[in-house]
Amino acid sequence: MSIIICPGIHELALTESFISGWSSLFTDSSIGKKTLDMVVFPCEGFLALSSLHILQFLRDRLRDKLGSPVVFISFSAGVVGAIMAAWQWQLLGGHVKAFIAIDGWGMPLWGNFPIHRLSHDYFTHWSSALLGGGHNNFYAEPSVDHLSMWRSPQTVQGWWVDPSVDVSQTPVRLSAAEFLHSLVKRYDEK
């Protein structure tokens, strides 16, 4: 399984910090002996919005792995290009196991693959859910600034919520990095 990281429009150092803070959870044996195949789309500026550039990058990097499952993790403006690239990847015969949008506020998210949203506050979580987002989502509480979700997911605390279950079910408190770890672990095991 490959993890496709699609950053937004921001400094490269933020993406490096995201990967460091999140992937450190994989140092335990929870994923077994496998190593994660992480592919980072090297976007500059507005290329984060371009599904064609993301798709071309995927075709170059994963050309012999079209049938191999991929999980997209995208942030902010990168959600725009990534969701369209995920649809296009499927049209080419690729297997999208899941799509994870981090603070993709205002972006409609639909697909025939599981979609998850992580939001920097409750309002963004609630209002984004109106535009699609599936099950098993996360929102920060206390709220944090937008870039904190990407820069340091291991420090962002919040709630794992699933709107498809009984509303009386208690949400789970954890960090954004732990939430991502749980999702990737689940899809890696399937």
Tell me, what's the pLDDT at 33?
Answer: 42
Distance, in Å, from the CA atom of 72 to the CA atom of 63, rounded to the nearest integer, reads: 17
Tell me, what's the pLDDT at 65?
Answer: 79
The domain of 142 spans: 2-189
> What order of strands is seen across the sheet that includes strand 137-140?
37-40, 2-6, 69-75, 95-102, 115-119, 137-140, 157-161, 172-175
Cβ(156)–Cβ(180) under 8 Å? no
pTM of the model: 0.90
Tell me, what's the pLDDT at 168?
Answer: 59
Distance, in Å, from the CA atom of 24 to the CA atom of 81, rounded to the nearest integer, reads: 27
Tell me, what's the pLDDT at 40?
Answer: 92
Tell me, what's the pLDDT at 90?
Answer: 93
Tell me, what's the pLDDT at 27?
Answer: 60
Distance, in Å, from the CA atom of 118 to the CA atom of 151, rounded to the nearest integer, reads: 14
User: Given the structure tokens 């899941």, which residue do they identify?
Assistant: 98
Tell me, what's the pLDDT at 7?
Answer: 92
Structure-block tokens of residue 50 = 């371009």
Distance, in Å, from the CA atom of 137 to the CA atom of 182, rounded to the nearest integer, reads: 12
Instruction: Report the domain count for the chain.
Output: 1
Q: Is 122 helix (H, G, I), strand (E, B) or coil?
A: helix
Tell me, what's the pLDDT at 45?
Answer: 79
Tell me, what's the pLDDT at 159?
Answer: 94
Residue 98, domain CATH: 3.40.50
Cβ(180)–Cβ(163) under 8 Å? no
pLDDT averages per 10-residue partition of the chain, 190 residues: 91 90 67 67 84 91 83 93 94 94 86 93 79 83 93 94 67 91 88
